[in-house]
Structure formats: structure tokens, C-alpha cells
Amino acid sequence: MLRIEALTQDYRDFRLGPITLTLTEQLIGLVGANGAGKTTLFSALAGISQTDKGSVSFNGANLSRLDRLSRVSFAHGRDVWYHGITFEDHLDLFKHCYPAWDNDVARRALERFSIPRHKRTGAASAGMLAKFALVVALARRADVVLLDEPWNALDPGSRVELTNIVRTLASEGDVMFIVSSHDLQEVESLCKRFLLLRDGMLVFDGNEADVKLKSGGSLTELYLTVANA
């Protein structure tokens, strides 16, 4: 269970929160317009940016910023890998940096997702890089995986593959996935609970039934009603 308590972060004239949430589902969708604060929330949850106020706890244990850097994985759509080296080289770095790193899990996940370990990341496709982010999240034994625009730049085949992988991983393990995307149909088909941000504030939190109740239809209709209100 992930508990976010009065999380607040200021950035120039933008304020995120305060956000208070208790998340128990394995697949959670986070949606909102550009500038709503999705990436800011992810950065704060992952410990990448310092939060101004509030706390984050997982299964009752309070997580410091360094704890979050270890236990919350932020896999975003952009290419953050070193192009000149291979997937294997990246794993070697992470092996020394993450305290709970499991090399066997990493190797098995590479094989399972058909990622050639000796391929340079600079020569890999967007789909392969997206899957590699999941390999890293699994091998470091993250409790929470934050996926920011995971389907960006993926071809239809890779999109389906990535969605299926995330769904399978969520069903077979204890990992919680929070998926942020503008692709509302993908989010709706994958997730069980939905969060909607607007101007840094959480304006909707509910499951599929709540979405229908609020909008009378799909997540897209809710988004158009609430996010742009």
C-alpha cells in the first residue's frame, strides 16, 4: 500500500498539491493535461526532486528521499541511457548502485523481453528501451514503478507487447504500477484505478465505475469534462 500524505511541491509559479492518497491497486492510471503536474508528482514520488512538504510511505514504512530512490522506479519515455554502451554495461552499473539489485532477475527479464544484452542502447529501438526500463525496475526490486508516457514513440505492435508485459507483471508480483499517459484508451484498458490531475491538484480519484458515474462514459469523456473544466 502506497500512502501519500499532503505532498506539496513548489516550482516557480507552479504548485503541486497538497496531494493525499492511499493506493492499494496494482495498476493505477494518472492522467491530466500538459502542465497538470504528472511528471512533477512522479519526480517527487521517485525521490528525484526534493518535496517541500508531505510524506510518502509504503506498507506503513515512511520512505525518505534516498529510500524512494531505491524503492520507487521512475521509467519515463525519454531516452536516458548512455548510447555508447550496451544494456549489459548499464546493468553492471546498476548492480553496484541499487542495494536490492537481483542479477538473476535482470538476466531472466532480458531474455523474457527479448533484449539482446550486448546491443548498444544507442542502436536499440524505442520499444526495446521501454522494455529495458522495466527490466531495470524489476531487477532493482522496486515496490512501485512509475511509467511516464510508456507508449510514446512505440509502434502498434510494441504498444500491445508493452501493455501485456505490464499487465502480466502486475498480476504476478507485488509491484505497483502507476502509469501516466495522454493515451487515455490505453490507460483505461490497462488500469483499475484512475487519478486525474489539474493545475497541480488531484481532481478525480476513482475506479471504472466511478468514471462512468462521473462522466456517463469513458475516461476520455471524464478527461474532457474535468481536466479542461
Give the residues lining the site for other proteins (CB under 8 A): 11-12, 14, 35, 37, 39-40, 43, 46, 48-50, 66, 69-70, 74, 76, 78-85, 89, 92-99
**Shortest Å, Cβ 65 to other proteins:** 8
Q: Are 71 and 63 in contact (CB under 8 A)?
A: yes
**Shortest Å, Cβ 79 to other proteins:** 6
**Shortest Å, Cβ 47 to other proteins:** 8
CB closer to other proteins, 95 vs 159: 95
CB closer to other proteins, 35 vs 173: 35
CB closer to other proteins, 55 vs 82: 82
H-state helical runs in the chain: 38-45, 65-71, 87-97, 103-112, 126-139, 156-172, 184-190, 208-215, 219-222
The vertex-115 CA angle with 110 and 116, nearest 5°, equals: 105
CB closer to other proteins, 39 vs 163: 39
One-character DSSP codes across 47-71:
TSS--SEEEEEETTEE--HHHHHHH
CB closer to other proteins, 139 vs 211: 139
Instruction: Quote the CA–CA distance of 131 and 164 in Å, as a whole number.
Output: 11
Dihedral sign (CA 140, 37, 153, 23): positive
Reading the block at residue 86, the C-alpha cell is 550496451
**Shortest Å, Cβ 89 to other proteins:** 6
Q: Are 174 and 104 in contact (CB under 8 A)?
A: no
CB closer to other proteins, 70 vs 163: 70
Phi, psi (deg, nearest 5) at residue 128: -65, -40
**Shortest Å, Cβ 56 to other proteins:** 15
**Shortest Å, Cβ 178 to other proteins:** 16
In the DSSP assignment, the letter for residue 122 is: G
